[in-house]
Amino acid sequence: MAEIDQITQSILNQIDESGFKQEGAYNLRYNGYSLCHGNTEHITIKRKEDKQGIDVYISGEAKGEQVHIPVVVAASGMTDEVYNDFYIEDGAQVTIVAGCGIHNSGCNDSRHDGIHTFHVGKNANVRYEEKHYGEGEGTGARILNPVTKIIMDTNSVFTLDTAQIKGVDSTKRETEVVMGEDSRLFVIEKLMTHDQQSAVSNMDIHLNGAGGSAQITSRSVARGESRQVFHPKAIGNALCHAHIQCDSIIMDQAQVCSIPEIDAKHVDAAIIHEAAIGRINNEQLIKLNTFGLSDEAAEAVIIENFLN
Amino acid sequence: MLEVKNLIFHPLENGVEKSIIEDISFRVEDGEMLVITGPNGGGKSTLAKLLMGIEAPDSGSILMDGVDITNYSIAQRANAGIGFAFQQPPRFKGMTVRRLLSLAAGTELPENKCCDYLSSVGLCAREYLDREVDGTLSGGEMKRLEIATVLAKPHKLCIFDEPEAGIDLWSFSMLVKQFEQLHANKKESLILISHQERIIQMADRIMVVKNGRIEALDKKEQVMPDLMNEDTGCSCMNPAHKA
């Protein structure tokens, strides 16, 4: 069993809520190499030969199994670009817990670009959790630029649950989903930025197969002088339903730009978008004050629950 | 005991001073139920907000058990034992009913306790505990939950601003029972702002507030007959004006 140092363990605790263990199917990428990995009967992880990254094969026999593939970057000045491909067979039911944490105690920028592609088979059900987190006393920036591509076959279900907790100076997220017949997509995106951080999230959902449905929920809090830009786009190419909901709390001198885009290319495409940006509601603060909470405590409770 | 002395509130609205509360003084004894009623726009809700510290008076004082709380913040008043149910409670995206009740109680509530508070206002715990307190709850559900948040913690004084508004008849009966029980226990003083005869009937004393002043303040038996014969001031409703 590989030895995990204290900094890495504390980052793992932040990005893998269920607790990372060297058991079952797992791969821990540390400063650009695989520190440890394990397979199960139904899940095989193979290192790529031609470039950095792994291929994860999940058999249709996998029912309710988990794969944990966290990434830790603890070296200042490191740029880690990694390609992970997931092949999920027809009928598989799996939870993939990813996530990346950067500890930068130096003056050079540390960066991780995770390029993930999911090939989701017929009737498969995948839950993908990804948490991003940054820490460290150094002046070097902590940068995360994830690219996620999801190809969904007939009647498959994909839940994309992403959260950027704190400490990431700059992030640019690109997500593309191509949906087949009767497939269902759920996206939950939670983001908190502070100080001078910037975050951009672009998402294109192509509803290509009849009967597809997509629910995209984005919640964010922007504090300090941070800046966020959201651009989710649902393209209805067939009979389908899609709902985009972007909600942001803006504080201090932050800036939030929300551009939900809906593009119907079929007469039976029903697509809705909602977007709201606003400061913390004063009535909510007063209500929590009547429970005996100070303004600061009330504000923290509102944000914590909003990002849930 | 709550003691209110010479409260005056003249806020500025678009640069013009408005007379909302004019020299109001009254007491609420321990375990007493005071129902405040009167025409809309008369100053009832503002008076309640002044008691909770949501608005600050221009002059006058508020004492709780002899302690001057006039300059206390809302949170300090809450910690001094005052509970408040809003007429239009706010919604919280992402917050579950269970979490809201625990925040109200000031401690993490076990499921059976949450269940007790919810069922006392006619909500089924199993159905509601994990629901979010957001736009998916109806106005009536929000009001019932609002009352449950006040019940979730013992107080010296509870203020309910039109608890009946937006509540259906069946739930209203349960609510009346809940207030009767609270009143019978005599552990908490109660101030209810209401237009509802059944609630007014429960009062020990009734205070009628009109144009920012106390028009009547006396035992129920004294005030009730006048209330029932009140001239509405509306010529089409007033029998005396009907030909």
Chain B residues closer than 8 Å to A308 by CB: 94
- Concatenating the DSSP letter of every residue in A208-222 gives -STTEEEEEEEEEEE
Q: Judged by CB atoms within 8 Å, which residues 115-174 of A form the interface with B? A: none
Count of Cβ atoms closer than 10 Å to residue A236 Cβ = 24
Under an 8 A CB cutoff, do B94 and A306 touch? yes
Q: Classify the phi-psi angles of B14: left when phi > 0, otherwise alpha if psi is within -120 to 50, otherwise beta.
A: left
List the domain range (segments joined by +) for residue A136.
Answer: 1-168
Which amino acid makes up residue B64?
A: M
**CB neighbour class for B127 (10 Å; exposed up to 12, middle 13-18, buried from 19):** exposed
Encoding tokens for residue B162? Answer: 């039109």
Query: CA–CA separation, A277 vs A221, rounded Å?
Result: 10
The answer to whether residue A64 is domain-embedded is yes
- B243 vs A246: which has the higher pLDDT: A246
Confirm whether A202 is domain-assigned.
no
Cβ neighbours of B149 in A, within 8 Å = 291
- End-to-end CA, chain A: 34
Count structural domains, chain A: 1
Nearest to B113 by CA among B122, B128, B102: B102
- ipTM value: 0.92
Nearest CA-CA partner of B4 in B56, B69, B55, B58: B69
Within a domain: A188? no
Q: How far apart are CA A258 and CA B17, in angstroms?
A: 40
Query: Tens place of pLDDT for every residue, chain B, 243 residues?
Result: 999 999 999 998 888 888 899 999 999 999 999 999 999 999 999 999 999 999 999 999 999 999 999 999 999 999 999 999 999 999 999 999 999 999 999 999 999 999 999 988 888 888 899 999 999 998 889 999 999 999 999 999 999 999 988 888 777 888 888 899 889 988 899 999 999 999 999 999 999 999 999 999 999 999 988 887 765 555 555 555 444
The confidence score (pLDDT) of residue B243 equals 44
Please answer yes or no on whether A290 and B78 come within 8 Å at the CB atom. yes
Interface with chain A: mutation pick from B95, B130, B146, highest number of A CBs within 10 Å: B95
Considering the domain boundaries, does residue A18 fall inside one?
yes
E strands, A43-124, in order: 43-47, 53-58, 63-68, 71-73, 79-88, 93-97, 100-103, 110-120
CA–CA distances in Å: residue A170 to residues A76, A83, A112, A146: 15, 20, 11, 11
Q: Which residue of A has its CA nearest to B73?
A: A289
Q: Which of B181, B151, B143, B186 is nearest to B32 (CA)?
A: B186
Tell me whether A72 touches chain B (CB under 8 Å): no
Residues 78-107 of chain B whose Cβ lies under 8 A from any Cβ of chain A: 78-79, 83-84, 86, 89-90, 92-96, 99, 103-104, 106
Q: Does residue A231 lie in a domain region?
A: no
Q: What is the DSSP secondary structure assignment for residue B184, as one 8-state letter?
A: H
Mean pLDDT throughout A27-42?
Answer: 93
pLDDT band at A2 (very low <50, low <70, confident <90, very high): confident
Q: How far is CA B152 from CA B100, B120, B182, in A?
A: 10, 11, 12
Q: What angle do CA B20, B73, A222 make, to 5 degrees?
A: 105
Tell me the count of A-B CB pairs closer than 8 A: 55
The three state secondary structure string of B126-156 is: HHHCCCECCCCCCHHHHHHHHHHHHHCCCCC
Query: How big is chain B by its Cα radius of gyration, in Å?
Result: 19
- Kindly give, in sequence order, each residue whose CB lies less than 8 Å from that of residue A49, ignoring residues fewer than 6 positions away: none
Q: Do B95 and A288 touch (CB under 8 A)?
A: no
Nearest to B74 among A284, A290, A305 (CB): A290
Nearest CA in chain B to A249: B93
| Pairing between β-strand A212-222 and β-strand A240-250 as defined by DSSP bridges | parallel
* CB of A19 less than 8 A from some CB of B: no
Dist. CA A274–CA A259, nearest whole Å? 10
* Closest CA of chain A from B242, distance in Å: 45
* Residue of B176, B160, B148 lying closest to B85 (CA atoms): B160
pLDDT at res. B60: 97
Q: Is B172 on the interface with A (CB under 8 A)?
A: no
CB contact under 8 A, A284 and B90: yes
> Which residues 6+ apart lie within 8 Å of A212 measured at CB?
A179, A180, A181, A182, A183, A184, A185, A238, A240, A241
Q: Say if the Cβ atoms of A301 and B103 lie within 8 Å.
A: yes
pLDDT tens digits along A167-221? 899 999 999 999 999 999 999 999 999 999 999 999 999 999 999 999 999 999 9
CA distance A291 to chain B (A): 5
Nearest residue, CB atoms, B93 vs list A289, A295, A306 = A306
Beta-strand pair B2-9/A25-30: unpaired
Contacts of A219 in chain B (CB under 8 A): 93-94
DSSP letters spanning A159-196: EEEEEEEE--SEEEEEEEEEE-TT-EEEEEEEEEE-TT
Domains delineated in chain B: 2-236 (3.40.50.300)
Q: What is the pLDDT of residue B224?
A: 87
Selected residue of B55, B69, B84, B92 to mutate for chain A interface (largest A Cβ count, 10 A): B92
Position A291 in a domain: no
Total-model pTM? 0.86
Name the residue among A247, A284, A289 with its Cβ closest to that of B75: A289
The alpha-helical segments, DSSP class H, found in chain B are: 44-52, 74-79, 97-105, 111-120, 125-128, 139-151, 169-185, 197-202, 220-228
The average pLDDT across A153-166 equals 95
Examine residue A258 and state whether it is found in any structural domain, yes or no.
no
Domain membership of residue A283 (yes or no) is no
- Evaluate whether A67 touches A42 at the Cβ level (below 8 Å): no
Average pLDDT estimate for A39-54:
95
> Is B155 in CB contact (< 8 Å) with chain A?
no
- Mean pLDDT over A246-269 rounds to 96
CB-based contact B75 A292, cutoff 8 Å: yes
Average pLDDT value for chain A: 95
Query: Which of A281, A295, A305 has its CB closest to that of B99?
Result: A305
| Contacts with A6 (C-beta within 8 Å, 6 or more apart), sequence order | none
